[in-house]
Structure 1
C-alpha cells in the first residue's frame, strides 16, 4: 500500500520536473477526424511522448463530461509537460470536438478506440525529438491502453483507476449497489447476463435504455468479452497500476487483480484519492462534488508516482 507522501518525498520528486519550462499547446487533427491537444514543454524534452486516454461515456480529452468538469487529464498533461514529457490527448469518437468522427453507434467498440489510439501514437512518434512512447489510460481508457499497446510498440504503461475484472463483473457490482427498484434491478441484471452470453436484447425497459439501448449493445458485448488482467499478462512492459482507495467506481480489488497479472507490475494504492484523482473527503457527497471542481489540484501522490515510472523508461 502506498502511504501519503511526506514533504520530503514531494521535494525529492519535484527534482524530476524541468523548472521554468513553459508549455506550448497545439491543436491537432488526427486521422478519422479526431481532434486533440499536443502539449510540449518549450524547454528541453526527455524524448518521451505519452498518449492520455479518457474514461467511459462522453468523456473528453481533459477528463470532463457534459455538466461535470474536473480537468483531471489536462492537469496530468500539464504536470508531465513540466517534467519534459510530450503529451497528446484527444476527444474520443463522437465526443466533444470529435463528434463528427463517429458513424453509427452500433459500429463502435473498444477496439475502435484502440485503433484510434494507435494512430495517435503514430502522430506522437513523428514529433521531432521523440524516440519512445508511453500510454496512460484512465478508467475504461486503461482497457483501451491495454489493447493499443498490442498494436504499437510502447515503452511503458500507466493504468489509473482501471477495471481489473471483466466489465460485466464491474457493471453487475455497480447495479447491485445502485438505488433502484428491485424489479428494475432484476431486469437490468437479466439483460446483462444475456449480453454477456453474446445475445442481442431487443426487449429493454425504457428506464434501462440509456444503459442497454440496442445501438450500444455491440459495444457492451465486445467489452464484456475482454479480461483486463489477461490483456496485461501478455504485455511485458514497465507498468504502473494506480488506484485511489476513495474511488467510488473502481476498487482496490481491481487494482490488485491487475497487479497480480504478472511479475513486474508496480501497484500504488493511494489513500484518500477518488476516481478523478483528487484528495477526497470521506463522505460520498463530498467525493462526488470533486467531479465538478476543476480548481482543486490533483492528489499530491498522483503525478510524482507516475513520473517515477515514466522518467525511468
Structure 2
C-alpha cells in the first residue's frame, strides 16, 4: 500500500477503535444543515469508492434532508454521523469530524451518479457514488470467542437442515466473507456458495477475516497478523460449532489461500472432510515469482527473489525499494514469514480425511498444475476440473479482459455444476 493511502486508512481505523466513546448515531446528533434548494434524487444511500492510488476504499453515504452518516466497511465504521451537510440544487457538501480529523466531501449529482472529491488531511481523492439498496440479511449473526476478542460470523441456515455444516474461508488479501476484495468490486462468490448450499439443506459459516470488514478490530496493527492466527480462528469456529446441537458433521472449505489455511486446520481439528477450491499446489514464493516475472523489470525481479528467500528463511528484509513496498512493507513481513513456511503439497499429504480438489481451467491465478500437485500428494483426495470456471468461480468463455470483468460482476451465477459437486461430495 502506498504511504499516502496507508495514512488515510490508519486515520479511519483509529476513529473506529475509539467509536464507543465518540460515536453517536445520526438520530442522536443535531447535524448542522443548510438547504437552498435540493434535488430529491440526492436523498438515500449511496455507495462507491474513494480512489486512493493502489488502494481504493469503499464508502457508503446515507443522505437525509437534515442529516446523514458515513460507513467505511473495511475499517469497521458504521453510520458515523456527519458534522454538517449542505444542499444546493444538485450539489451536496459534507463535513465529518472523525476522531479529530476533518473530512470534507463535495459532490454533484449527474445522471444518477454523485461525482466529487473526498478530502482529508490536505489530500484530495476522486469519489464516484451510485445509489443502492442494501440486501436483506438472510443469515444468523454469530459472535465466536477467539484470541483477542470475538469473531463476527454469518451462519446461513437451511429451512430444513441435514446436520451438515460447512465452514468457509476466503482467499488472500482483504477478501471478505462474501468473496469480495475490499476496494476492488464484488463478485459474491462465497455468498453464493453459502446460499446455494442452504437450498440443498447444508448449513454454512462464513466470516470476514480478522483485520477485515466486521472483524477489523481484531487486529490493531498489521504486523500482529500471522497465517497461524487464521488457522487458530478456524479451530475456534469448529469448537463453537461442535457445541451446537443442530450440527453433527463439520466440513472445511477454503478458496485460494483459504484452501491452504483449511488444509492446515484439517490436520488439527476433528472434521469430516476438506474441500479445496483453487488452492495453490506449490510453495507461495514460487507462485509469487511466477506472477511478478510478468510485470517487474529485471532489477526489481532480482530484489523480489532475494526478499522472498530471506523471508522464507524467517528473516525480515530491512531495505525495500519504493516500488515493492506494497508487497514487502515491514508491517506485512511477519505474515509472509509465517505463510512461506508452508508447502501445500506437504500439508495436504498430512490430512487424513476425504478431500476434494476443485479447479477451473479458466483460472488465471491458479493453474491445473497446482491441482495436479495437490491430488498427487494425498491418496484420500479426488479432483474435479471445470472447463469454464475462473478464479472467482464463474463461467467465462472470452479473453483475459472478460475473465477479469467477472471479478466485479455479482450478477453472474456460480459456475455450472460447482454446488452439485460440493453437495455430492459432502453427502457421499
Residue in 2 aligned with 1:205? Answer: 321
What CA deviation, in whole Å up to 9, does each residue of 1:38-68 have, x standing for no partner?
010122x211111000000000000001232
What CA deviation, in whole Å up to 9, does each residue of 1:141-163 have, x standing for no partner?
01110121122200011000001
Residue in 1 aligned with 2:31? Answer: none
Distance across 1 between alignment mates of 2:173 and 2:369? 23
Residue in 2 aligned with 1:3? Answer: none
Compute the displacement of 1:264 (Å): 2.6
Give the superposed CA RMSD.
Answer: 1.4
Whether contact under 8 Å (1:88, 1:124) holds in the other structure is no
Please point out which of 187, 190, 210 is paired with 2:306: 190
Residue in 2 aligned with 1:86? Answer: 203
Residue in 1 aligned with 2:422? Answer: 306
TM-score of the superposition, structure 2-length normalised? Answer: 0.65
Whether contact under 8 Å (1:246, 1:282) holds in the other structure is no
Whether contact under 8 Å (2:172, 2:256) holds in the other structure is yes
Compute the displacement of 1:194 (Å): 1.9
Residue in 2 aligned with 1:295? Answer: 411
Residue in 2 aligned with 1:30? Answer: 144
Residue in 1 aligned with 2:118? Answer: none
Bigger drift between 284-293 and 104-113 goes to: 104-113
Where relative contact order (Cα < 8 A, 6+ residues apart) is larger, the structure is 1
What CA deviation, in whole Å up to 9, does each residue of 1:282-306 have, x standing for no partner?
3111100000100100001211111
Larger helix proportion, structure 1 or 2? 1
Whether contact under 8 Å (1:175, 1:189) holds in the other structure is no
- Superposed, which structure 2 residues align to 1:1-313 within 5 Å? 25-31=139-145, 32-43=149-160, 45-66=161-182, 67-177=184-294, 179-312=295-428
Distance across 2 between alignment mates of 1:239 and 1:254? 15
For structure 1, which runs of at least 5 residues remain unmatched after alignment?
Answer: 1-22
Compute the displacement of 1:83 (Å): 0.9
Distance across 1 between alignment mates of 2:140 and 2:219? 23
Whether contact under 8 Å (2:186, 2:410) holds in the other structure is yes
For structure 2, which runs of at least 5 residues remain unmatched after alignment?
Answer: 1-136
Q: List structure 1 runs of 4+ shifted beyond 3 angstroms.
A: none
What CA deviation, in whole Å up to 9, does each residue of 1:202-243 have, x standing for no partner?
101111111111111111112111011111111121110001
TM-score of the superposition, structure 1-length normalised? Answer: 0.89
SS of the residue 2:252 aligns to:
strand
